[in-house]
Amino acid sequence: MTGISQTELRDGIAQKNFVILGRAGMDLFAHPPGVKSEDAETFHADLGGSSANIAAGLCKLGCAASLVTSVSDDAVGRFCINKLKHYGVDTKYVRSVAGEFRNSLAVYESCIEDFQNVIYRNGAADFQVTADDMAAVDFSPFGALVTAGTVFAAEPSRSATFAAFESARARKLPVIFDIDYRPYSWPSPEVAADVLSRAGAASDMIVGNDEEFGFMAGDIAKGLEKAQSLAENGVAIVIYKMGEKGAVTFAGGQETHTGIYPVTAVKPNGAGDSFMAGLLSGIAEGLELKDAVLRGSACASIVVAKPGCAPAMPTHDQLAAFLAEHPGPTKG
């Protein structure tokens, strides 16, 4: 653990300036909503990738975010950079890599029944982030470091990210970790469990769902116990998400249960990224932790009710309108 207190964590987040590690990709989603990908004649393209989505979501909610990643030196990589800029994300630390490396591509649909999300990540460009890339980052302007767990799935990105954690620790910069376990990115579950556990132990705030914490614990039934253990052993804030059942937050020796904002979903993906953006922006604005978690839940509900991920993430005005119009939250 970095030894940062909950107060120091909140103070860092309150600066509203985040350095975010992880991938940017292209999303292609079938149009109109309800049509299956194999039957679609039209697809809309936009920004994808967990870390890029979090960065876009934060910017749309009034924070600043800079993404550290690698993209392919081709039209798709340039598309991702252009979209990052469109959403206000700083791309100073986005490096284009030549050769056969390619940006991630997700092809999905706005259709809950038998939802399909086809991911292309062969030779992923974002795994080519190096220790030199991290050494070139000036961490001094930022209030907190945010990463999604996919960065740890392969080298050189894995070692580079742990090096960034060390740099953050040296500067007392809080480390915020979204577990974001994607089995298809890892060489084996055993390697993933070991590496993600190491990353969790070096973090000040951890957000994940029941399956992800269960995976780290080696038993899905022990996920909640794992989350509680991490909080008891030095992680300032641990948030255990349970989908429709809400979330449990462990912080300061307290256990807080929160619900969700029910909506008619058109897709399941993007919720976690939007949750993180809403949560962090809420803390940054001085909300009590419980209220910030509920803001995250509202943002997640907004995204699953619309096509796309980054384009579906709310602005302040859209979030306020949603909260005014929708019942909730449910009891956690």
pLDDT tens by residue, 230-278: 999 999 999 999 999 999 999 999 999 999 999 999 999 999 999 999 9
Are 17 and 63 within 8 A, CB to CB? Answer: yes
Confidence of residue 4 (pLDDT cuts 50, 70, 90): confident
Query: Over 60: is that where the pLDDT of 331 sits?
Result: yes
Query: Over 60: is that where the pLDDT of 302 sits?
Result: yes
Domain 6-325 adopts which CATH fold?
A: UDP-N-acetylmuramoyl-L-alanine:D-glutamate ligase (3.40.1190)
Nearest-angstrom CA–CA distance, 257 and 4: 24
Query: Over 80: is that where the pLDDT of 1 sits?
Result: no
pLDDT of residue 2: 55
Ramachandran bin of 252, using left for φ above 0, alpha for ψ from -120 to 50, beta for the remaining angles: left
Nearest-angstrom CA–CA distance, 38 and 27: 16
Angle at 47 between CA 111 and CA 161, to 5 degrees: 115
Place of tokens 């859209």: 318
User: What pTM was computed for the model?
Assistant: 0.97
Q: Token pair for residue 320?
A: 């306020």
Are 281 and 248 within 8 A, CB to CB? Answer: no
Instruction: Please enumerate in sequence order all residues whose Cβ is within 8 A of that of 232, keeping only pairs 6 or more positions apart, or say none.
Output: 250
pLDDT tens digit sequence for 135-187: 999 999 999 999 999 999 999 999 999 999 999 999 999 999 999 999 999 99
Are 151 and 179 within 8 A, CB to CB? Answer: no
Every domain of the chain and the residues it spans: 6-325
Nearest-angstrom CA–CA distance, 106 and 96: 20
